[in-house]
Structure 1
Amino acid sequence: MSPMLLALPVFAPLAGVGMVLLLSRRGAGSAGAPPRIARAVGWGVTVVVLVASMVLLTSALDGDIATLRLGGWPSGIAIVLVADVLGALMMAVTSLLVLLSLVFAAATGEDDGHFVALALVLSTGVYGAMLTGDLFSLFVFVEVMLVPSYVLLIRSGGRRRLAAGQRYVSVNLLASTLFLAGVGLLYGVTGTVDLGELAGAARNPAAALATAVVLLALGIKAAIVPLHSWLPSSYAVAGPAVVVLFSGLLTKVGVYALFRIYAVVFDGDRRWLWIFLVLGLLTMVVGVLAALGERSVRSVLTFHMVSQIGYMLLGLGLFTTAGLAAGIFFLVQYVLVKAALLMCAGAIEVRHGTDELRLLGGIGRTEPVLAGAFGISALALVGVPPLSGFVAKLKLVQAAVAEHQYAAVAAVAVVSLLTLVSMLKLWNAIFTQPEPQPESQPVTRPGAGPSTEATIMVVPSRSGPILPPAGAIASRPLLLAPAVVLAGVAVSLGLAAEPLLVVCERAADGLVDVGTYVEAVTSP
């Protein structure tokens, strides 16, 4: 396998951005919709990355960890890209999410203007963060994610959205400053930022403290309690497709980096694992309790996003092969399940003009496919057998019992029960309670989110081309198709979990014993 395949996920999206911008200029000539061929470029590039990810994952499972030093520079100087099982798996999952998010954006009418270009730049940062083998490049790729995410968040305007964007940028700039300071301190202590050369460096107290600063910054970006408040306030006002894109990418890069850096630099030092266990339990409980009090579909789901991050931290806090494998399995299935739920919420917003629970009702009779996709995904989030969430939580509980972490077992049970309560609250309000009396209110512009001040009436298309012009809502089948696909994945990963569990165990082995990864990063 050619090592140049590693460069494809980083450079192909950037090439796609150039093509999209060029085609936009040559298209309709307005600042709005890019031509439909630009949409095809975004989809095509993401499919290429998805295929490349699967090839890299297959190769890593066979024991061949691909490594590429950009520019041919020696170790310690070159930007190193490396794809082990964990990195390739996460890149495959995120590229699948990007693809379905682009399809959903086309269905909701959000991919007007430069949406596709911004999404491709964002995905470049995500793929680079999954592949990079040094901390400074990780910082750069995370910052590559930040700029387009800010533009995507505020692009439709509105006072609330601008205020949320300012909060989002302020928090992330603080985290980025801490990240860079930690990297600088670590370089000052060790003389390197290469992850291979930093293996076990935390045995030095000064290096451990510097790395702790990096982990703190990543904790902010991962929205770990008590550093989480920026996420619900920002995601609650983003466009429907934008929040789907964000849900599987931004915080998950932070979680991935926490797993990777602690495994390599701290070498899984068990003295500090209690911190991750405590933060995981706190994040689970605070997130689910906050979700119970919310009154809109989006806000309930975004607080659950915080809560579910706690489960992943439990896997890291256990730091056994079983615990890490369970945490990675949970991360993979959760990215897809949460995206499905947010797609259902987005479909409700664009078809009914609101996601406020008091204004919804009776949708189960008119939207049975939507109800089915939401119901399956909600049960997967709760962890009802035989869906993917049940397998993930069962494996976490088994790993916790093996380590005598009974508080974690109790927390999983209680938080799962509270998650069920909040999902039943959404189900009843959206699908089973009587439809409220219609009010003479304008319908929120699709894609603008609930906070946008300007409103227009847009009638969903029931005929014509499969893909509508940018800025228009697609027909019902295309609007629901991505959520239905992901709901099907939740069922498949529950009924046939063994192949993914094997992959996750291999990824966990690579974290428990980082020797192969370190050798790949440092080899000439």
Structure 2
Amino acid sequence: MIEALAEFLPPLMPLLVGIPLLTGALCAALRQRRTWRHVGSLVTLGGIFVFALLMVIVTSQGVVLAHQVGLWNYGIAIPFVVDAIAALVLMIISILGIASVLFAMGTHEARARFYHPFVLILFAGISGALMTGDIFNLFVFIEVMLLPSYGLLAMMGAKLGANSARIYVTVNLLASTMLLAGIALVYGTAGSVNLAELHGAASEDPAVAIAAGVMLTALSIKAAVVPVHGWLTRTYPMTSPAVTALFSGIHTKVSIYAIYRLYSVLFDGDPSYLWVALVVTSLTMAIGVFGAMGEKTTRSILVFHMISQIGYILIGAGLFTLFGLTAAIFYLLHHMIVKASLFLSTGAIEETYGTGEISRLGGMLKREPLVAITFMVAALSLAGLPPFSGFVAKFTIIQATLEEGHIWVAVVAVIVSVFTLLSMLKIWTGVFMGPEPEGLESEALESQAKMHGKRYLRVEAQAETPTLSIGPPTATTTAVLEGRQAVKVPLKLIVPGALLAAVTIFFGLGAEVLMSLSEVAAEQLMDPSDYVEAVSGA
């Protein structure tokens, strides 16, 4: 079975780039076929998930899948190579893509003609970035990811401030320029951009190490590592919840994957530079969570948490031991699911009630119990409480740092976990347990009316059930709002976040399976010889 899949899958890997591009073009051409766009997008993302799952099954046995695109000879063809970490990350990202698209369909954001094309082109870039065995093509596919991202941000219109859009575009263009310059320097010093030929080059030649350091710096900017993290907190909270959830599991995580890949292959895990990573990751953990403590909206708190959790994930790069890498990969996969679930559950409230400000919300535990449960599961997992996946992730990370004698890193990780829990409690007590503010429903109805392009959304009492109609407010509106709940988060906005919350429970209870897969991925990073051999086509 495994041998048959290992032979069958590699020639099909280019389809992970080609089919999303083709389907995206078809979706753009279907001007009046909204349902077909929805179906095409979900089927394509579902196909990516199934293909990635099959690759996970094969690579879990230590197999590295490789294909020279176009069947050209080595050195001319673009090498597509997939090992365990690439397959795992692609599988999780496809799950996030499906959940985010379902949420966007529920908010009607996906009705826009180019929403699905942008998402599908984005996934073509993701697939290429995770599979390529060439650092120049890594840059190309990252740019393929960024172009539709600009489109998704532009679609938000007035919701995304001009200043935030300018920051996002400027920072990413700067980082991309730096990444390209680093690739040029690597080529100038090592004479190649092929990962097989670059194996160990940075550990042997200081000039290559400096060039590779420029690349890692650029990727750190894209990953929002402290001190180059400010762009993330000033852009992600300004997008829609669906886009924020999608971006949270894509751009920074693909950059983290690239950091691990480059350090594994170019530096061959050279311990000389690991202390720098530990210092940076500790600062990232601490600054991220302290920033979250001072924020006043749900999404801004969660975005600062993203930065803090990136510090946890990159601890594995600072340790570069088998146990440390295993723990970090497990943490990466867990975090992608949990963070997206939190963005979608709080986003469901924001889309329904028209605000994410904690001071303008309250009483949601009673009004929206399903959303409250979804948020609680993901929040407890993020904070690292058992039996959720976050407990396993943080426990193993801390244990790995202690085994290597880095007690101060473990202490920072524990302290940050406490503050993470406190900031989650800030959302819980303010949004879910706090008193319901006066005028909550009237503001929600007004917000919904604005989103639908109407001036007023009127509530009228007819018989036993209040009904909604368009028009100026009437004398009965206030009485109805005081006595009845006219606003409710629809089930279609609850389900995507709830499904992801269920996944984190599964990851927690079935941690042994995911941990074993993470260990295989860690072994391949520790010893990239099989990966290098696959890239070279030997």
TM-score class, shorter-chain normalisation, is over 0.9
Secondary structure of residue in 1 paired with 2:80: strand
Assess, with a 3 A threshold, how the Cα gap between structure 1 residues 279 and 20 changes in structure 2: closer, same or farther.
same
1:272 maps to what in 2? Answer: 273
* Cα displacement (A) at 1:356: 0.5
2:99 maps to what in 1? Answer: 100
* Cα displacement (A) at 1:19: 1.6
Query: CA–CA distance in 2 between the matches of 1:61 and 1:354?
Result: 44
Range 500-509 or range 14-23, more displaced? 14-23
Q: What stretches of structure 1 of length at least 5 have no aligned partner?
A: 28-33, 463-472
Query: CA–CA distance in 2 between the matches of 1:447 and 1:259?
Result: 47
Aligned-partner residue type, residue 104 of structure 1: F
Q: Is the 8 Å Cα contact of residues 354 and 443 (structure 1) preserved in structure 2?
A: no
1:519 maps to what in 2? Answer: 533
1:491 maps to what in 2? Answer: 505
Secondary structure of residue in 2 paired with 1:158: helix
Assess, with a 3 A threshold, how the Cα gap between structure 1 residues 176 and 354 changes in structure 2: closer, same or farther.
same
1:465 maps to what in 2? Answer: none
Q: Percent identity?
A: 42
Secondary structure of residue in 1 paired with 2:30: helix
* Cα displacement (A) at 1:161: 2.2
Assess, with a 3 A threshold, how the Cα gap between structure 1 residues 274 and 219 changes in structure 2: closer, same or farther.
same
Secondary structure of residue in 2 paired with 1:111: helix
Query: CA–CA distance in 1 between the matches of 2:178 and 2:456?
Result: 45
Query: CA–CA distance in 2 between the matches of 1:190 and 1:409?
Result: 37
Secondary structure of residue in 2 paired with 1:193: coil
Alignment: residue pair count: 502
* Cα displacement (A) at 1:447: 13
Assess, with a 3 A threshold, how the Cα gap between structure 1 residues 444 and 242 changes in structure 2: closer, same or farther.
farther
Query: CA–CA distance in 2 between the matches of 1:459 and 1:47?
Result: 40
1:503 maps to what in 2? Answer: 517
Assess, with a 3 A threshold, how the Cα gap between structure 1 residues 366 and 49 changes in structure 2: closer, same or farther.
same
Query: CA–CA distance in 2 between the matches of 1:253 and 1:204?
Result: 27
1:147 aligns with 2:147: yes
Q: Is the 8 Å Cα contact of residues 126 and 141 (structure 2) preserved in structure 1?
A: yes
Residue correspondence of structure 1 range 334-349 to structure 2 within 5 A: 334-349=335-350
2:18 maps to what in 1? Answer: 11
Secondary structure of residue in 2 paired with 1:236: helix
1:185 aligns with 2:192: no
Assess, with a 3 A threshold, how the Cα gap between structure 1 residues 458 and 37 changes in structure 2: closer, same or farther.
farther
Query: CA–CA distance in 2 between the matches of 1:290 and 1:443?
Result: 32
Q: Is the 8 Å Cα contact of residues 318 and 400 (structure 1) preserved in structure 2?
A: yes
* Cα displacement (A) at 1:76: 2.1
Q: What stretches of structure 2 of length at least 5 have no aligned partner?
A: 1-6, 460-464, 466-486
Assess, with a 3 A threshold, how the Cα gap between structure 1 residues 459 and 315 changes in structure 2: closer, same or farther.
farther
Secondary structure of residue in 2 paired with 1:67: strand
Q: Normalized against structure 1, the TM-score is what?
A: 0.92
Residue correspondence of structure 1 range 168-183 to structure 2 within 5 A: 168-183=168-183
Assess, with a 3 A threshold, how the Cα gap between structure 1 residues 63 and 196 changes in structure 2: closer, same or farther.
same
* Cα displacement (A) at 1:5: 2.1
Assess, with a 3 A threshold, how the Cα gap between structure 1 residues 394 and 81 changes in structure 2: closer, same or farther.
same
2:83 maps to what in 1? Answer: 84
2:158 maps to what in 1? Answer: 158
Q: Is the 8 Å Cα contact of residues 154 and 238 (structure 1) preserved in structure 2?
A: no
* Cα displacement (A) at 1:64: 3.0
Aligned-partner residue type, residue 513 of structure 1: D
Higher Rg of the two aligned structures: 2
1:122 maps to what in 2? Answer: 122
Range 53-62 or range 37-46, more displaced? 53-62
Query: CA–CA distance in 2 between the matches of 1:474 and 1:125?
Result: 37
Q: Is the 8 Å Cα contact of residues 17 and 124 (structure 2) preserved in structure 1?
A: yes
Query: CA–CA distance in 1 between the matches of 2:417 and 2:13?
Result: 39
* Cα displacement (A) at 1:139: 0.1
Q: Is the 8 Å Cα contact of residues 8 and 49 (structure 1) preserved in structure 2?
A: no
Aligned-partner residue type, residue 143 of structure 2: E
Aligned-partner residue type, residue 372 of structure 1: I
Aligned-partner residue type, residue 59 of structure 2: A
* Cα offsets for 1:297-349 (capped at 9, x unmatched): 01000010111000011111010010001000000000000000000111011
Query: CA–CA distance in 2 between the matches of 1:370 and 1:302?
Result: 19
Aligned-partner residue type, residue 320 of structure 1: T
1:30 maps to what in 2? Answer: none
Q: Is the 8 Å Cα contact of residues 46 and 99 (structure 1) preserved in structure 2?
A: yes
Query: CA–CA distance in 1 between the matches of 2:159 and 2:521?
Result: 44
1:470 maps to what in 2? Answer: none
Query: CA–CA distance in 2 between the matches of 1:156 and 1:455?
Result: 18
Q: Is the 8 Å Cα contact of residues 281 and 411 (structure 1) preserved in structure 2?
A: yes
1:224 maps to what in 2? Answer: 225
Residue correspondence of structure 1 range 305-384 to structure 2 within 5 A: 305-384=306-385
Q: Normalized against structure 2, the TM-score is what?
A: 0.90
Secondary structure of residue in 1 paired with 2:235: helix
Aligned-partner residue type, residue 136 of structure 2: F
* Cα offsets for 1:491-522 (capped at 9, x unmatched): 11111100000000000000000111000001
